[in-house]
Amino acid sequence: MPKEQANWSPYDNNGGSCFAVAGADYCVIAADTRMSTGYNILTRDTQKSVNYKCVMASSGFQADVKALQKHLAARHLIYQHQHNKQMSCPAMAQLLSNTLYYKRFFPYYSFNVLGGLDNEGKGCVFTYDAVGSYEKVGYSSQGSGSTLIMPFLDNQLKSPSPLLLPARDAVTPLAEAEAIDLVKTVFASASERDIYTGDKLEIVVINADGIRREYMDLRKD
Amino acid sequence: MFRNQYDTDVTTWSPAGRLFQVEYAMEAVKQGSATIGLRSKTHVVLGCVNKANSELSSHQKKIFKVDDHIGVAIAGLTADGRVLSRYMRNECINYNFTYESPLPVGRLVVQLADKAQVCTQRSWKRPYGVGLLVAGLDESGAHLYYNCPSGNYFEYQAFAIGSRSQAAKTYLERRFENFADSSRDDLVKDALMAIRETLQGETLKSSICTVAVVGVGEPFHILDQETVQQMINAFEIVGEQEGPAAEPDAAAGQEAAAEQGGSTDEGVAPMDI
């Protein structure tokens, strides 16, 4: 007897792309603001990133993204009450990984990048899969446009091979303004060919002065 | 004495209809160091006397932030207070998670009171030995509540609990009618004056007291030592002869408590309090 199939799925893919790049003393995190389902657009103005001391940008199933963000917000508040300070980026990175793995057998359909400054003020980016496998990298992208974005970044940012010893730092030598330009170029390109990426780009920049947000328009088709 | 026959456990009534264990728990509150609270229409101020056991130790934390809009000051068994503030923090976080809005103070206070009541009706538990002054802001304005170990709670315009609190209560009773329209700074000044009343002649310095404020547009936070000392000096609350000398005293205070500004720990020899 053929196996019975479910007639509905608890997941949906709301599309979109997100991306982060780490610099010597800054970190840039970007995500588009389009939320879609199938071939339809649900909204052109959703927010896929959330701030603490570091910024997490996610794409995938927005309901799971939102639930994950709320969960982390609550844990972050508890941490602040207990330790009297905000969670550092590496600490948040581990917490996110554990939170994702906790639901290993009914995962958050959320593909995340986490960006911030480490304890020395250097940029750091962590990239995740849906069940919490994570890695500290110099740059990463997730979401529907990642297949278009990643190869371009690999070419432009020339990340050192992870097999080299001693381990080379993947942080880019680009200046902050150049990195932001790169982000804008990359998303403009991705919007051309990925139907799920577009509308507006939200760029979040973290540096020693704090966190700031910028917006840029993308193709609306 | 007569009282001792019926006070062995909390689930035994006395012939006069009293639960002595609960009343003894309220005595524990009176043993704690003084804590005061007062409110206006837009702000609530909590203050407490914070004395370290010895020169070598840091002082107990008596004021806790529960959420951006709620804070609590305790008197009595501080360990019980710490546990209850953790409960309050969790309740606020869970409510916010579900309803995406801040937990109204009145609701939190009722939950706290119900939790305390449970301990008065179980033979394997004991009442919490701590009184809580809960300060908070919600849609209906600024609130100050007092939660007792008995499970009762009351709303106040101003109140004081702990040892020598009667002096502070007398001061507050004289002045409370003006509080509703007080400015934030005047409210803090009144709080410091009330704390001074409980010190009975001892010099008021920022190293022996803690003050916290919550108000419209101002999330709950504990004022740092320098700010408090400046306010003490500005209002000339300190006794006349100590006036200008009080500032270097406070700057050399020996607190190691995390929430105080770290800048004052300069490694100067501890002053006696």
Q: Map out the domains of chain A as residue ranges.
A: 17-36+50-218
Flag if A81 and B89 touch (Cβ within 8 Å).
Answer: yes
pLDDT < 70 stretches in chain A = none
Stated length of chain A: 221
A77/A128 Cα distance (integer angstroms): 22
Give the pLDDT confidence score for residue B217 in this predicted structure: 93
Flag if A74 and B258 touch (Cβ within 8 Å).
Answer: no
Residue B271 has pLDDT above 60, yes or no: no
| Of the listed ranges A82-96, B39-53, B187-201, B225-239, the one predicted with least confidence | B225-239
Give the pLDDT confidence score for residue A53 in this predicted structure: 86
Query: Domain coordinates of chain B in residue numbers?
Result: 20-233
Flag if B258 and A81 touch (Cβ within 8 Å).
Answer: no
Give the pLDDT confidence score for residue A165 in this predicted structure: 84
Say which of B65, B93, B259 has its CB closest to residue A74: B93
DSSP B182-250: --HHHHHHHHHHHHHHHHTTSPP-TTSEEEEEEETTEEEEEPPHHHHHHHHHHTT-S-GGGTTTHHHHH
Residues from chain B contacting residue A81 (CB–CB below 8 Å): 65, 86, 89
> pLDDT tens across B78-129, in order?
999 999 999 999 999 999 999 999 999 999 999 999 999 999 999 999 999 9
Residue B145 has pLDDT above 90, yes or no: yes
Q: Does B99 touch chain A (CB under 8 A)?
A: no
Residues from chain B contacting residue A78 (CB–CB below 8 Å): 89-90, 93
Type of residue numbered A2: P
Residue B58 has pLDDT above 90, yes or no: no
Average pLDDT, chain B: 86
Alpha-carbon gap: B93 to the closest alpha carbon of chain A (Å) = 6
Q: Does B89 touch chain A (CB under 8 A)?
A: yes
A122/A102 Cα distance (integer angstroms): 30
Mutate to test the interface with A, among B64, B68, B70, B93 (most CBs of A within 10 A): B93
Flag if A78 and B93 touch (Cβ within 8 Å).
Answer: yes
Residues of A with CB under 8 A from a CB of B: 70, 74, 77-78, 81, 84
* Burial zone of A3 (CB within 10 Å; 0-12 exposed, 13-18 middle, 19+ buried): exposed
Which residue of chain B comes nearest to A70, CA vs CA?
B97
> pLDDT tens across A121-178, in order?
999 999 999 999 999 999 999 999 999 999 999 999 877 777 788 877 778 889 999 9
Residue B253 has pLDDT above 60, yes or no: no
Residues from chain A contacting residue B96 (CB–CB below 8 Å): 74
Residues from chain A contacting residue B258 (CB–CB below 8 Å): 84
Flag if A77 and B93 touch (Cβ within 8 Å).
Answer: yes
Global pTM?
0.85
> pLDDT tens across B214-251, in order?
999 999 999 999 999 999 988 775 444 444 444 444 43
Residues from chain B contacting residue A77 (CB–CB below 8 Å): 89, 93
Say which of A70, A81, A84 has its CB closest to residue B97: A70
Stated length of chain B: 273
Which residue of chain A comes nearest to B66, CA vs CA?
A81
Q: Does B58 touch chain A (CB under 8 A)?
A: no
Give the pLDDT confidence score for residue B259 in this predicted structure: 38
The CATH superfamily of B20-233 is: Aminohydrolase, N-terminal nucleophile (Ntn) domain (3.60.20.10)
* Mean pLDDT to the nearest integer, B189-194: 93
Residue B53 has pLDDT above 90, yes or no: no
Mutate to test the interface with B, among A66, A81, A82 (most CBs of B within 10 A): A81
B187/B195 Cα distance (integer angstroms): 12
Flag if B96 and A74 touch (Cβ within 8 Å).
Answer: yes
The torsion angles phi and psi of B127, rounded to 5 degrees, stand at -65, 150
Give A215's contacts (C-beta < 8 A, 6+ positions apart). Answer: A200, A201, A202, A203
The residue assigned the tokens 């100590």 is B242
CATH architecture of A17-36+50-218: 4-Layer Sandwich (3.60)
Q: Where residue B258 falls among pLDDT bands split at 50, 70, 90?
A: very low
Give A120's contacts (C-beta < 8 A, 6+ positions apart). Answer: none
A63/A58 Cα distance (integer angstroms): 11
Question: Distance from CA of residue A78 to its chain's centroid?
Answer: 23
In sequence order, the β-bridge partners of residue A36 are A41
Say which of B86, B93, B259 has its CB closest to residue A84: B259
A136/B222 Cα distance (integer angstroms): 37
Residues from chain A contacting residue B262 (CB–CB below 8 Å): none
Q: Does B258 touch chain A (CB under 8 A)?
A: yes
Type of residue numbered B170: T
